[in-house]
Structure 1
Amino acid sequence: MLIISETLAQTLVSVEDAIEAVSGVFVAMARGEARNYPVVREVVGHADAVYGVKAGGDVSAPFLGLKAGGYWPHNLGRGLSNHQSSTLLFDPGTGRAAALVSANHLTGIRTGAASALATRCLARENAAVLGIIGTGGQSLHQLRATAAVRCIKRVHAWDMQPASTARFADAVRAMGLDCVAESTPEAVARAAEIIVTVTPSQAPILMRDWVRPGTHISAMGADTKGKQELDPALVAAARIFVDEAAQAISIGECQHAHAAGLIREAELTPLGQVLTGAAGGRRSPEDITLFDGTGVALQDLAVADLAVQRARATGRGIVVDY
């Protein structure tokens, strides 16, 4: 078995690499060549943690595996990331465990990559003002990924913790971009042409009346039953695109509007269909487009498989008898 550490994983796969890898699995999903298996997502009952297992396989690659991990909200006080996860890949031909990949960094960049793909497909070509709602560990991944697909000139940011917003703004300015640390999410929404929400919220923090016509929104925070970042009226007003429709209405941002009868599953367009040309994206400059990014196993497996390929090609990683 090949073992890839967190440090090595960071050197093997860039956010640009992740965008192309995630694009490939979205296309494979749309063509019926790749499938995500049912998700396990549970409250642990210890350390306020949420734990999950996501699995899937892509016969076109091919790869097969799972990612296990979750959210431990008290880790920052221990000097650790709150999000912890590991990916286990299996040989699709024999079923033998083939690689164990530390997935904290890879989860961050694949989430940014999925959002960026939606932005590349759906945001207006000239959109240059990015709004970030939620400035935790995922926020810089989102910024870097978005900047890879659009020429971002200014960033507006907000977080429930003003100190977090200030730290993020400093990091953005260090990248050579203008950044405004806003005091409310409304201020972010009214300024932005592209909005990314990446919070653990369980109540709406982005309202319909704040969002201008023509805005693209990537809602990336809702991945568990009960999570919510957007006003259901905003969801209902948007043209909705998803990584996977069934997951979006069960644990994603769409769960609340769907439960209220404001949207139907048939109205949700898988992003992979846009990438293959089977479905259209933005229809007019005035459309509000929404990508409900719940995070699917195949995204994790694609970036882990790429890391494994590159590690083997360059003789890196640790090989153990298993």
Structure 2
Amino acid sequence: MAAGTARNFPVIREAIGHADALYGFKSGFDRQALNLGLKSGGYWPGNADKGLTNHQSTVFLFDADTGRCQAVVGGNLLTALRTAAASSVSIKHLARQDAKVIGMIGAGHQAKFQLRAALEQRNFEKVIGWNLHPEMLVNLQEVADEAGLPFEAVELDGMREADVIITITSSFDAILKADQVSPGTHIACMGTDTKGKQEVDPQLLVMADVFTDEVAQSISIGEAQHAVAHGLIQAADVAQIGAVINGTNPGRTSDAQITLFDGTGVGLQDLAVAATVVERARAAGAGTEIAF
């Protein structure tokens, strides 16, 4: 995306007026990998009571040369993996090398994926966590135990101890305040992907150097939407993390700098992951071939 050889198409995400659900499409085209397609799905908040995950999605891949459907792939696990991978990549490129404490805000199903992926990027020595419903913090404890790390439940003020903070909630109100973040922290905001959602104080985006997967989504449906709406920052203040990965943006330039990654989730990520799965499935003789 940052190199200009791939782009996302505008996101459609709407409340359907039934089951309190949000439903939509993310799509795009990667000219280099020839990945073309879309992910269809959304968020059904009542699914947990039915023994289902709240996020439901399916990825459709198309032949870029003919437009024929190539594959239909279940997107639930893939979405969890690619979302965790995205925040993990942001930690790899933006967090301080000496980061020791990772803080988690949110302890639901996705938080476990986020924490597992994040722990691969630095030699973390401790996990701290906060959740609106404290009984769910056992999810974070489980992952910390897997990694042989101590876990501590904290109040939000306790996040000042963290060198890296991941927010992964479905909140529509700012949870993390600007004075609860210490200099040098890297924050990965991964829960805001819809107009109106919000996880952090807009002042945090003023204090931080802000990076995102796609600027257009960041300022319209991502965490940056609120700071932009209040005139606190502009679109030009938000940088693509792809530019950091490609070496055209320096990213973190000091240990005192606060960096913030606004992970809105882009369709190209879904297509890349699904295309890899299809390739592996064919090589393994898995999946079902259907004549369309």
> What is the TM-score of this pair, normalised by structure 1?
0.89
Q: Which residue of 1 aligns with 2:23?
A: 51
Q: CA RMSD in A?
A: 1.0
What is the CA deviation profile of residues 47-96 of structure 1, one whole-angstrom value per residue up to 9, with x for unaligned ones? 11111100001010011000010111111111111110000000111100
C-alpha displacement of 1:31:
1.1
Offset of residue 178 of structure 1: 1.2
Dislocated runs of 4+, deviation >6 Å: none
1:150 to 122, 126, 135: 122
Deviation at 1:319, TM superposition (A): 1.1
- 1:240 has 2:210 as partner: yes
Partner residue of 2:108 out of 112, 129, 136? 136
CA contact (8 A) 1:240 1:290 kept: yes
Maintained 8 Å contact 1:68/1:86: yes
Cα offsets for 1:259-311 (capped at 9, x unmatched): 11110111111001111111110010000000000001001111001101111
2-side partners of 1:307 and 1:177: how far apart? Answer: 32
Structure holding more helix per residue: 1
1:196 aligned partner:
166
Separation in structure 1 between the aligned mates of residue 264 and residue 82 of structure 2, nearest angstrom: 12
Aligned to 1:122: 94
Give the whole-Å Cα distance in 1 for the aligned partners of 2:287 and 2:157.
46
Letter matched to residue 272 of structure 1: G
> Aligned partners of 1:173 and 1:145: how far apart in 2?
15
Deviates more, 1:239-248 or 1:160-169: 160-169
- In structure 1, what is the Cα distance between the partners aligned to 2:142 and 2:247? 40
Residue in structure 1 matching 2:175, options 195, 205, 230: 205
The 5 Å alignment of 1:264-303 reads 264-303=234-273
Matched, 1:318 2:288: yes
Q: Per-residue displacement from partner, 1:145-172 (whole Å, max 9, x unpaired)?
A: 1112112221101111111113432342
Match of 1:84 among 47, 56, 61: 56
Report what 2:156 is aligned to. Answer: 185
Alignment-derived partner of residue 226 in structure 2: 256
In structure 2, what residue type is equivalent to 1:71?
A: Y
Distance (Å, rounded) in 2 between the aligned partners of 1:170 and 1:321: 44
Tell me the distance in 2 between the aligned counterparts of 1:100 and 1:215. 40
For 1:165-184, list aligned pairs within 5 A.
Answer: 165-182=137-154, 184=155
- 1:166–1:181: 8 Å Cα contact kept in structure 2? no
Match of 1:10 in 2: none
Alignment-mate amino acid for residue 31 of structure 1: A
Tell whether 2:67 aligns with 1:95.
yes
Mapped partners of 2:288, 2:245: distance in 1: 36
Separation (CA, whole Å) in 2 of partners of 1:55 and 1:185: 36
Unpaired stretches in structure 2, ≥5 consecutive residues? none
Alignment pair present for 1:32 and 2:4: yes
Instruction: Say if 2:60 and 2:71, in contact at 8 Å, map to a contact too.
Output: yes
Unaligned runs of 5+ in 1: 1-28
